[in-house]
């Protein structure tokens, strides 16, 4: 299947000479939820601002739903909704007017039923006649989402959607994102929260210092790079790791009541069988054992810290 967005060799050096993106190649599949994950300053906002036509790339090419974003900017932009990281709206405008305006901006005919549907979905209908400046931060964020959806985009960008957002809005937002995906909308979110990528995304791209470090299915990323931990609940707490087990990656936790062994799921031999035998020889008994997959957080930290 043709990707809905294809990014080739895109780079960006800002006026001051700072290179925020170095030759990024990325394809976004139609209908997926893609998380661009990286620390602050990695280049996430720069990349999506380029796709949305807000920032000019220094090089490279981007096709969004068949349209070159530089030579067919209006056509490309029409397909895209953006919920920016920073809230900026006309404070004096009424909620419903600003959402209507966003729809009109892209040349769509008025559709009051559609506007009502969007406002209701975002719990903004009761506030439709209020001025934006009278709203709380969370409500303003809802207005930004409504504006992004007003022209029924096929591609939706959410730049750091959880930053400064309360639990309720976060839940509503994820519900809406899933429903939009069901209806065929492709969603790209940027985040520095690993849990968010882990919870929402089908695929994850890790970006660090302007470079895409890797792109993979979330599940296979977890499988490939995930270390597993084996936790043993000990019969008798240990004060220290027995000397005879010093060559294993072991840690004590819970005041010596748990022994944790980290192993690589990709290794030919996890070493577990041997470890259990050695524990037995050392007279270390355990009541229970269980394994746990490492989170994207662990993967991310190990990836980013491995880079110079
Ligand atoms: N307009 C600009 N001029 C100069 N440097 C910028 C500009 N915008 C962003 N940067 C720099 O580019 C880098 C990437 O920024 P950004 O894309 O906002 O990262 P992220 O969204 O991942 O936090 C940062 O070091 C930032 O300071
Ligand atoms: Mg950003």
pLDDT recorded at residue 168: 86
Q: Indicate if the pLDDT at residue 131 is higher than 90.
A: yes
**CA 246: distance to chain centroid?**
39
Residue nearest to atom 4 of ligand 1 (CA): 14
Residues 6+ apart with CB under 8 A from 161: 83, 170, 173, 189, 191, 196
Distance CA 93, CA 286 (A): 66
pLDDT value at 17 more than 70? yes
**For residue 295, what is the DSSP state?**
P
pLDDT of the residue at 55: 96
Whether pLDDT at 222 is above 80: no
- Residue-wise pLDDT tens digits, 134-163: 998 889 989 999 999 999 999 999 999 888
The residues, any chain, with a CB within 8 Å of residue 256's CB and separated by 6 or more, are: 234, 237, 238, 239
**What is the CA(188)–ligand 2 centre distance, in A?**
13
Which pLDDT value is given to residue 218?
A: 87
Q: Atom 2 in ligand 1: which residue has the minimum CA distance?
A: 14
Q: Select, from the ranges 102-116, 163-177, 285-299, the one with the highest average predicted confidence (pLDDT).
A: 102-116
Over 80: is that where the pLDDT of 264 sits? no
Helix 218-225, helix 296-305: angle, nearest 10:
70
Q: Render pLDDT for 52-100 as a digit per residue (tens, 0 to 9).
A: 999 999 999 999 999 999 999 999 999 999 999 887 777 889 999 999 9
pLDDT band at 32 (very low <50, low <70, confident <90, very high): very high
Least trusted range by pLDDT, from 1-15, 69-83, 167-181, 221-235: 221-235
Q: Which residues contact 12 (CB under 8 A, 6 or more apart)?
A: 19, 20, 21, 43, 46, 47, 50, 55, 57, 58, 210
Question: Residue 35: pLDDT above 60?
Answer: yes
Asked if 218 and 203 touch (Cβ cutoff 8 Å), the reply is: yes
DSSP letters, 15-44, are: TTS-EEEEEEEEEE-TT-EEEEE--TTSSH
Q: Nearest ligand, CA of residue 86?
A: 2
pLDDT for 171: 87
Phi and psi of 114, rounded to 5°?
-65, -45
210: left (phi over 0), alpha (psi -120 to 50) or beta: left
Candidate from 15, 16, 46, 192 with most ligand 1 atoms within 8 A of CB, to mutate = 46
- Using the predicted structure, report yes or no on whether residue 223 has a pLDDT greater than 70: no
Question: Mean pLDDT over all residues of the chain?
Answer: 89
Domains in the chain (CATH in brackets) are 5-222 (3.40.50.300), 226-294 (3.30.70)
């Amino acid at each position: 299947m043709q990707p809905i967005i294809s990014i080739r060799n895109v780079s960006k050096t800002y006026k001051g000479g700072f290179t925020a993106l170095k030759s990024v190649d990325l394809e976004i599949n139609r209908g997926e939820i893609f998380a661009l994950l990286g620390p602050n300053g990695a280049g996430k906002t720069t990349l999506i601002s380029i796709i949305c036509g807000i920032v000019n790339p220094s090089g490279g090419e981007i096709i969004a739903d068949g349209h070159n974003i530089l030579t067919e900017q209006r056509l490309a932009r029409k397909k895209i909704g953006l919920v920016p990281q920073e809230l900026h709206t006309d404070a004096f405008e009424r909620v419903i007017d600003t959402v209507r305006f966003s729809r009109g901006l892209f040349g769509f005919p008025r559709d009051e039923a559609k506007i009502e549907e969007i406002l209701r979905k975002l719990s903004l209908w009761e506030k439709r006649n209020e001025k934006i400046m009278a709203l709380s931060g969370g409500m303003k964020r809802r207005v930004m989402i409504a504006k992004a959806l007003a022209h029924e985009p096929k591609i939706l960008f959410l730049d750091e959607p959880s930053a400064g957002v309360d639990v309720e809005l976060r839940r509503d937002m994820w519900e809406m994102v899933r429903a939009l995906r069901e209806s065929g909308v492709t969603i790209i979110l940027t985040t520095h929260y690993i849990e968010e990528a882990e919870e929402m995304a089908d695929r994850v791209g890790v970006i660090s210092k302007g470079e895409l470090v890797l792109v993979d299915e979330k599940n296979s990323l977890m499988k490939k790079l995930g270390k597993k931990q084996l936790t043993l609940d000990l019969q008798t707490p240990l004060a220290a790791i027995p000397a005879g087990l010093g060559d294993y990656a072991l840690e004590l936790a819970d005041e010596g009541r748990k022994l944790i062994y980290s192993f690589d799921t990709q290794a030919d031999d996890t070493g577990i069988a041997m470890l259990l035998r050695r524990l037995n020889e050392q007279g270390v008994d355990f009541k229970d054992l269980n394994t746990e997959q490492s989170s994207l957080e662990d993967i991310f930290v190990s990836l980013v810290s491995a880079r110079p």
